[in-house]
Structure 1
Amino acid sequence: MHQGNRLLSPSQVAKAAGVAISTLHFYEREGLITAERNAGNQRRYRNDVLRRVAVIKIAQQVGISLRDIAQRLAQLPTDRAPNARQWTQLSRQWRSELDSRIDALLLLRDSLSGCIDCGCLSLKECPLRQPPGV
Structure 2
Amino acid sequence: MHASPDDHLTIGEVIRRTGVSASALHFYERKGLIYAERNGCDQRIFARHMIRRISLIIMAKRLGIPLSDVAKVFATLPFDHAPTHADWQRVSRAWKKELEERRRAIENLENELTGCIGCGCLSMKACLLLNPDDTLQGRGPGPVRLQEFSDSRSRRTRG
Question: What percentage of aligned pairs have identical amino acids?
Answer: 37
8 Å contact from structure 2 (residues 73, 95) kept in 1: no
Distance 1:123 1:44, change over 3 A: farther
Deviation at 1:66, TM superposition (A): 1.2
In structure 2, the CA distance between the partners of 1:49 and 1:131, relative to structure 1 (3 Å rule), is same
Q: Within 2, Cα distance between the matches of 1:40 and 1:130?
A: 56
Partner of 2:109: 108
Question: Cα RMSD (Å) of the superposition?
Answer: 2.2
Q: Which has the higher helix share?
A: 2
SS at match of 1:76: coil
Q: How many residues are matched?
A: 132
Which protein has greater RCO, CA pairs closer than 8 Å, 6+ apart?
A: 1
Q: Which runs of 5+ in 2 are unaligned?
A: 117-123, 138-143, 153-159
Quote how far apart the aligned CAs of 1:128 are: 2.9
| Structure of higher CA gyration radius | 2
Q: TM-score, normalised by structure 1?
A: 0.85
TM-score by length of 2: 0.73
Query: Where does the alignment leave 5 or more consecutive residues of structure 1 unmatched?
Result: none
4+ runs deviating over 6 angstroms: none
SS in 1 for 2:115: helix
Query: What secondary structure does 1:104 align onto?
Result: helix
2:125: which partner in 1? Answer: 117
